[in-house]
Amino acid sequence: MIEYSELDAQFIINRFPELKEQVKKECGSGEFLPHVVFGNIFDPLTVSLLKQDDHAENKTLRRIFDMYEELSSEGDEETQNLVQATLLEYLWDEKTTYNKALELIGERTKELWNDIYNYLNAP
């Protein structure tokens, strides 16, 4: 089980060592705020990668969606909320990112994605 209270910079760095400097910058104050750090790092990165023509073959993008699936399927309720409210909702802003994300999300992530329909309209 991935506990929300245990999410930290090392969780991201272990999966994305190339983001180490950005993670450290986001944690500059010393406090790790998961919604802020994950959102500031992964939201713009995911959108920019989804907008590329080769998005389906992009290894970094696949790793991001694999992490979303891991957090969705193994995370506690707060962790799942992080995925749904901070990471997935952001992908609903544009039709392009919305449709391309649907191609890549995993089974459990798709359940959280579908829950968003209860309060947002698809672009």
One pLDDT digit (tens) per residue for the chain, 123 residues: 999 999 999 999 999 999 999 999 998 877 899 999 999 999 999 999 999 999 999 999 999 999 999 999 999 999 999 999 999 999 999 999 999 999 999 999 999 999 998 898 877
What sign for the dihedral angle of Cα 30, 36, 39, 44?
A: negative
The per-residue pLDDT for 83 is 98
The pLDDT of residue 61: 98
Q: Would you say 116 and 84 are in contact if contact means Cβ atoms under 8 Å apart? A: yes
Is the Cβ–Cβ distance between 4 and 34 less than 8 Å?
A: yes
In this prediction the pTM is 0.94
Crossing angle (nearest 10°) for helices 95-104 and 59-74: 70
